[in-house]
Chain A
Amino acid sequence: MATHHSKSYQFRKDREGGWQRLEALVLAAEKSGIRSLSAKDAFEMPHLYRSALSGLSVARAISLDRNLVDYLENLTTRAYLLFYGHQRPAGQAFIHLMRYSVPNAVRAIRLELTVSTAVFLAGVLVAFFLVLGSPDWFFTFVSPEMANGRQPGATAEQLANVLYQRDGTADGLDIFATFLFTHNARVGLLAFALGFALGVPTLWLLFSNGATLGAMFALYHDKSLGMELGGWLIIHGTTEILAILLCGAAGLAIARHYVFPGRLSRMEALAHHGKQAALVAFGCITMFLVAGLLEGFGRQLITSDLARYIIGLAFLAMWGLYFASRWPAPDEDGTEGAR
């Protein structure tokens, strides 16, 4: 009679070979990557994995051998991590990110982008008309260190000098460029990070940055230098302001989907929409880099207003095309499954 062998013992005896084979494959794949397996092994492994997984279900139900259950648990988890870990090579992943994921993510936050743009413009308009009405308002919106001599009472000559770099400070321009890059990127990232605080500080940050711009415009407009300031700003401003608006929009998206998670749980909503928002912010880092280069080099080297406007608007059009482009994305490894 075979009764002296329990069912769980027999079960283990029958399946043990497959588990050990899987263990050997998992070990090899962990050491030198799943791509290093031979075609035969790679073909065999998913079968072994599934059978070990079903073995685990059975073992949980019928076996009281704790070591066996623990072992299967560990083995299947390791195999699971191999199969469902990240597979795409780093370079390809990056290309995929820039080509598909970032534009897609930007399109996903259109609504928030509208809101952040509106708030920013409101800041510009409010400050513009307040300062135009009474120059005393100027320092409410612009900090003295940022104003850097550009303030009410300055002559048109002084104001214009800043725009065309006539004072020979262009020497340090390339260092300046990257400094500005870090500065403005921080404003954008802060706008994004503060989205976690349910978005209110993000709105405030957007408004106050808009107000700084508006106040500056009022100052120059008063001296009939509005167009010239426009050229000075637009060459990098289209890129930079767009990036700030996008960062703010990404922050708002996080806040919105946390407060109103819809059909998903809060955590799932945050994971899904937060990922989109983070990808937008990542795209913005690249934009800040471009803006920093434009500001540091382009603006100092190109002093013609017309050329400045053309470059600025060309970049705006380029970003627009990039974000609007819908390439048919290849199958992403399950990211869209969360919908």
Chain B
Amino acid sequence: MSIKKLASTERQMREILTPEGVTLKVELAQTGDRAGAVLIDLLLLFVGMILGALGIGLTTGFAGLGRFGIILILLLLFLFRNFYFMFFELKWQGQTPGKRRLGLKVIDRFGRPLSSEAIFARNMMREIEIFLPMGIIFSGSATGVSGIMQLFALIWALVLVFLPTMNRDHLRAGDLVAGTLVVREPRVKLAADMLSGAEDEEKSAYSFTVGQLELYGIYELQMLEDLLRNQSLEAAAKRQTAGQTIIRKIDWPDRVTHGRMDAFLQAYYNALRKHLEGKLLMGTRKENKFDKDVGGRKN
């Protein structure tokens, strides 16, 4: 219970069901990251537009094709504006340069494959999320609406712009209609199994009674795992205090010296994990130390 809560405050996780029927946890992209990604993309887009327009303008200017050049430029702007996002998300599996920079990725919200339709749909909506509000603000009457209608359009456009801050999945209008979700790219970290290292050398040095192993649950076990994996100096200090607490709690009869503490904790971790996993196989999950012995109730 407490683990879940902890995880949800640090990072927002969402579950998606794969076609194979297994749920996977994905980390939701932060609104700030998404705003950053879109800013990078818009910047690239505008730079591309300006360079392209300059290029065409100069070449057609020298060739004396003035009006033709302007048409080409307008067409180029049209293509950039409409296809920049679509092109990259199609090509890079749901990533644009901005998203790639910030480690974000588009996925299907319902666990299905990300279809090209979804990519077209979610990026078509940018037209009304980014370019329409810009149009209304900078050239009011050019939208063909006026007066009260224009005010309404502006309010509505702003609602669309701030939509991602108004729902818990940070969905923008494009995500809503396309059924997509923007997540953080998962990063892999594989450490050695905690049971493997100390297993052989220390196996007989410490042995614990069942009573001594009944005191803690999964939450404490995994806290201990984190402490043992952590190589930093402060973690070493924390291990000493944690070790003292455990020794007191389980009434460990012998003195454990400062230097032997890690070995002791490792041995306790091994024993506790085997104990808890053994109970797990029998269908009993002891979540934490406050979880009363569920196995006892069953008998």
Q: A7-B277, A81-B93, A282-B124 are in contact. Are A194 and B156 (CB under 8 A)?
A: yes
Residues on the A chain within 8 Å of B5, using CB: none
The 6 closest A-B pairs by CB, nearest first: A274-B177, A271-B179, A278-B121, A85-B93, A93-B116, A193-B128
Report B1-52 residues with CB < 8 Å from chain A CB: 18-20, 22, 24-26
Contact B280 A64 (CB under 8 A): yes
Minimum distance in angstroms from A293 CB to a CB of chain B? 9
Q: Tell me which of B90, B113, B160, B177 contacts A333 (CB under 8 A).
A: B113
Contact A50 B20 (CB under 8 A): yes
Q: Tell me which of A20, A56, A192 contacts B128 (CB under 8 A).
A: A192
24 contacts between A and B (CB under 8 A): A12-B193, A62-B277, A66-B226, A67-B225, A71-B191, A74-B186, A84-B111, A85-B113, A85-B114, A86-B89, A86-B114, A90-B86, A90-B87, A93-B119, A145-B141, A174-B67, A175-B67, A175-B74, A186-B143, A193-B132, A270-B177, A278-B177, A335-B115, A335-B118
Report A40-86 residues with CB < 8 Å from chain B CB: 50, 53-54, 56-57, 61-68, 70-71, 73-78, 80-86
Cα–Cα, bound, A175→B86 (Å): 27
A103 within 8 A of B: no
Cα–Cα, bound, A332→B114 (Å): 11
Contact A67 B190 (CB under 8 A): yes
Minimum distance in angstroms from A119 CB to a CB of chain B? 15
Contact A332 B173 (CB under 8 A): no
Q: Tell me which of B20, B118, B218 contacts A275 (CB under 8 A).
A: B118
Number of A-B pairs whose CB atoms are under 8 Å? Answer: 256
Q: Tell me which of A53, A93, A270, A277 contacts B22 (CB under 8 A).
A: A53
Cα–Cα, bound, A8→B185 (Å): 28
A281 within 8 A of B: yes
Question: B185-201, CB under 8 A of A: which get 1 and which 0?
Answer: 11111110111100100
Q: Tell me which of B107, B116, B157, B177 contacts A277 (CB under 8 A).
A: B177
Contact A101 B157 (CB under 8 A): no
A39 within 8 A of B: no
Question: B101-131, CB under 8 A of A: which get 1 and which 0?
Answer: 0000101111111111111111011011000
Cα–Cα, bound, A192→B122 (Å): 14
B289 within 8 A of A: no
Contact B82 A285 (CB under 8 A): yes
Minimum distance in angstroms from A202 CB to a CB of chain B? 11
Cα–Cα, bound, A193→B160 (Å): 9
A96 within 8 A of B: yes
A106 within 8 A of B: no
Contact B89 A282 (CB under 8 A): no
Cα–Cα, bound, A289→B141 (Å): 20
Contact A271 B178 (CB under 8 A): yes
Contact A75 B188 (CB under 8 A): yes
Query: Knowing that A64-B222, A64-B273, A278-B174 are A-B contacts, what are 14 other residue pairs whose CB atoms are under 8 Å apart, sorted by A's residue number?
Result: A64-B280, A184-B144, A187-B144, A189-B128, A190-B144, A190-B145, A194-B153, A194-B156, A201-B149, A268-B179, A274-B176, A275-B118, A278-B177, A333-B115
Contact B177 A88 (CB under 8 A): no
Of A90, A193, A278, which is in contact with the most chain B CB atoms at under 10 Å from its CB?
A278
Question: B143-165, CB under 8 A of A: which get 1 and which 0?
Answer: 11110010011001100100000
- By beta carbon, the residue of chain A nearest B169 is A267
- By beta carbon, the residue of chain A nearest B146 is A143
Q: A6-B274, A97-B116 are in contact. Are A254 and B177 (CB under 8 A)?
A: yes
Majority SS of interface residues in chain A? helix
Residues on the B chain within 8 Å of A63, using CB: 277
Contact A66 B222 (CB under 8 A): yes
Residues on the A chain within 8 Å of B274, using CB: 6
Q: Tell me which of B120, B191, B194 contacts A282 (CB under 8 A).
A: B120
Question: A325-339, CB under 8 A of B: which get 1 and which 0?
Answer: 000000011110110
A323 within 8 A of B: no
A9 within 8 A of B: yes
Contact A193 B157 (CB under 8 A): yes
B229 within 8 A of A: yes
Minimum distance in angstroms from A84 CB to a CB of chain B? 4
B295 within 8 A of A: no
Minimum distance in angstroms from A301 CB to a CB of chain B? 14
Residues on the A chain within 8 Å of B25, using CB: 73, 77
Residues on the A chain within 8 Å of B114, using CB: 84-86
- By beta carbon, the residue of chain B nearest A187 is B144
Q: Total interface residues on B, using CB and 8 Å? A: 88
Q: A65-B195, A86-B90, A205-B149 are in contact. Are A278 and B178 (CB under 8 A)?
A: yes
Contact A81 B117 (CB under 8 A): no
Minimum distance in angstroms from A279 CB to a CB of chain B? 6
Cα–Cα, bound, A279→B190 (Å): 42
Minimum distance in angstroms from A318 CB to a CB of chain B? 21
Cα–Cα, bound, A275→B176 (Å): 9
A99 within 8 A of B: no
B55 within 8 A of A: no
A204 within 8 A of B: yes
Contact B113 A23 (CB under 8 A): no
A196 within 8 A of B: yes
Cα–Cα, bound, A182→B75 (Å): 11
Cα–Cα, bound, A180→B142 (Å): 9
Contact A6 B273 (CB under 8 A): yes
Of B105, B109, B190, B191, which is in contact with the most chain A CB atoms at under 10 Å from its CB?
B190
Cα–Cα, bound, A279→B119 (Å): 10
Residues on the A chain within 8 Å of B113, using CB: 83-87, 333-334
B71 within 8 A of A: yes
